[in-house]
Amino acid sequence: MAAASTPEHLVLAAIAPQPWKNGAGLTREIAAGPLGAGNADFDWRISLAEVARDAPFSAFPGIDRCITLLHGAGMRLASLDGSVDHRLEQALDPFRFSGDLALNATLLDGACSDFNVMTRRGAWSAEVSVVRAARDVADADVLLLLGVAGTWQIDAAATDNGAPWCLEPDAALLWRARCGVLRATPTRSQAQALLQVRLCQDRR
């Protein structure tokens, strides 16, 4: 098997936060595709949001969204037409919804932070899941692993130097090309969590 490509190593604290126009929160863009894409022309976008007060979520027509609570008590997400009414209160439980809808976010008990994945419908699809024990990570067109709790060792079937990558909390590894099957292994037995994002391009 060919050697795995070298991933980008991203530290969340080093990503400059961008304030929301309504002043209700901050967003750190972790990655987007294609490179240099903005809010109007991305194919996929991965970000971290810090929500400080009740606020509307903007609509993104033609976009599929997935949001995962990381820290805090969470929030209620509700659309004006009543088709969405969801309490995002369970940490690391991904919630998927259509970006066509504008939502109102009401905090349940103070500020919270959440992880967001957006993909352009019909062009890309996203699989967001939580890894809590040693397991293989399947290949994808774009792969992101985000450390949430504990330290993780990421091994490829073949690497240039044979050394694994180390992933700490609040850091991520990003592959923008297929890298082969990886092995994610927690380094300790206590509480561990890793968010896995697999993005696949629709080639139909």
Taking the C-alpha atoms of residue 71 and residue 192, their distance in angstroms, rounded to an integer, is 15
The answer to whether the 15-120 and 124-201 domains have the same CATH topology is yes
Residue type at position 101: L
Angle CA 12–158–186, to nearest 5? 45
What does the DSSP 8-state code read for residue 170? T
Do 36 and 145 contact (CB within 8 A), yes or no?
Answer: no
41-50, 98-107, 158-167, 176-185: which range is least confident on average?
A: 158-167
Rounded Cα–Cα distance for residues 167 and 10 (Å): 10
Q: Give the domain ranges of the chain.
A: 15-120, 124-201
> Could you report the per-residue pLDDT of 5-41, keeping only the tens digit for each?
789 999 999 999 999 877 788 999 999 999 888 888 8
Q: Which of 4-8, 64-68, 167-171, 181-185 comes out lowest in average pLDDT?
A: 4-8
pLDDT in tens, 71-89: 999 999 999 888 999 999 9
What is the number of H-type helices and E-type strands within the chain?
A: 0, 19
Looking at per-residue confidence, does 109 or 21 come out higher? Answer: 109
Q: What is the pLDDT of residues 133-180, one digit of tens each?
A: 999 999 999 999 999 999 999 998 644 556 889 999 999 999 999 988
Compute the half-sphere exposure of residue 91: CA atoms within 13 Å on the CB side of its CA: 10
Q: How confident is the model at residue 59 (pLDDT cuts 50, 70, 90)?
A: confident
The pTM score is: 0.92
Q: Does domain 15-120 fall into CATH 2.40.100.20?
A: no
- Whether 104 and 54 have beta carbons less than 8 Å apart is answered as yes
| Residue 29, pLDDT score | 95
Q: Which CATH code for domain 124-201?
A: 2.60.120.10
Helix, strand or coil, per DSSP, at residue 13: helix
